[in-house]
């Protein structure tokens, strides 16, 4: 298979992922295709996205301005420049917890996450997920934070989760009596944020555009 045939297959795969509503695709499209910048994940996944868009995406991942530019140079490109650009599609922060059962109950109950998986008997490692956000929970013996840490670093965050609009989720959590470290506010740079505190003192920031 020629390199160009490989790139065509890659473009068709991206096209299918977009049609299937694969959330990580939205971040890639927003990052590499200028006309989609400023749109939310849902807006990108709902927007028309055709084969030529997917081909342009592949071309830009390889450092070309267009599919045509890639096609003209595909067979003569230096091997190093032919390597696809790696894209970070998501992140999964790891939070340390002292009581796994209590942590899972908090995240799945109060915060509305689903339990994606759990390992061990008793459980020592688990993942919770809500929409595109995933958090890994790791059990530790004893306190999660050293004595005096929270007094010295009162606002140190464990993770930040981004949303299109933070207010609806804030209101949901407010109705559920979720413990807030910081209530909903508008930051100087324009984002609307709030911070939740879990049973072990991990601080989770929720930030909306």
CATH of residue 116: 3.10.180.10
Backbone conformation region of residue 141, classed left if phi is above 0, alpha if psi is from -120 to 50, else beta:
beta
124 domain-assigned: yes
Residues 119 and 201 in one domain: yes
Tens digit of each residue's pLDDT (9 = 90 or more) over 131-189: 889 999 999 998 899 888 888 888 899 999 988 899 999 999 999 999 999 999 998 77
86 domain-assigned: no
89 domain-assigned: no
41 domain-assigned: yes
Average pLDDT of the segment spanning 204-208: 93
Nearest CA-CA partner of 179 in 126, 95, 108, 106: 106
Residues 104 and 203 in one domain: yes
Residues 29 and 118 in one domain: no
For the ranges 25-29, 125-129, 170-174, 197-201, which has the lowest average pLDDT? 25-29
Residues 28 and 115 in one domain: no
Rounded distance, CA 42 to CA 163, Å? 11
Q: Does the pLDDT value for residue 79 go beyond 50?
A: no
Residues 67 and 98 in one domain: no
Residues 8 and 101 in one domain: no
Nearest CA-CA partner of 100 in 136, 142, 137, 144: 137
* Percent of the chain surpassing pLDDT 70: 91
For the ranges 73-87, 96-110, 139-153, 167-181, which has the lowest average pLDDT? 73-87
Higher pLDDT residue, 197 or 1? Answer: 197
83 domain-assigned: no
pLDDT band at 78 (very low <50, low <70, confident <90, very high): very low
Count of structural domains within the chain? 2
pLDDT band at 110 (very low <50, low <70, confident <90, very high): very high
On whether the CB atoms of residues 67 and 58 are closer than 8 A, the answer is yes
Domain of 38, in residue numbers: 3-73
143 domain-assigned: yes
127 domain-assigned: yes
Rounded distance, CA 70 to CA 77, Å? 9
pLDDT confidence of residue 73: 73
């Amino acid at each position: 298979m020629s390199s160009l045939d490989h790139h065509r297959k890659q473009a068709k795969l991206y096209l299918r992922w977009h049609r299937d509503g694969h959330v990580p695709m939205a971040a890639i499209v927003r990052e590499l295709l200028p006309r989609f910048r400023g749109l939310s994940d849902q807006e990108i996944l709902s927007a028309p996205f055709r084969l030529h868009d997917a081909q342009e995406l592949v071309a830009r991942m390889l450092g070309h301005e267009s599919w045509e530019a890639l096609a003209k140079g595909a067979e003569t490109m230096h091997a190093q420049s032919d390597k696809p650009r790696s894209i970070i599609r998501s992140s999964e922060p790891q939070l340390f917890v002292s009581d796994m059962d209590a942590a899972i109950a908090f995240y799945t109950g109060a915060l509305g996450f689903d339990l994606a998986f759990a390992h061990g008997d008793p459980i020592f490692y688990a993942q919770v997920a809500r929409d595109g956000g995933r958090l890994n929970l790791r059990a530790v013996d004893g306190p999660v934070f050293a004595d005096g840490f929270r007094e010295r670093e009162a606002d140190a965050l464990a993770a930040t989760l981004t949303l299109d609009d933070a207010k609806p989720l804030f209101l949901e959590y407010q109705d559920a009596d979720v413990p807030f470290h910081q209530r909903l506010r508008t930051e100087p740079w324009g984002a609307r944020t709030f911070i939740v505190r879990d049973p072990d003192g991990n601080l989770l920031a929720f930030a909306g555009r």
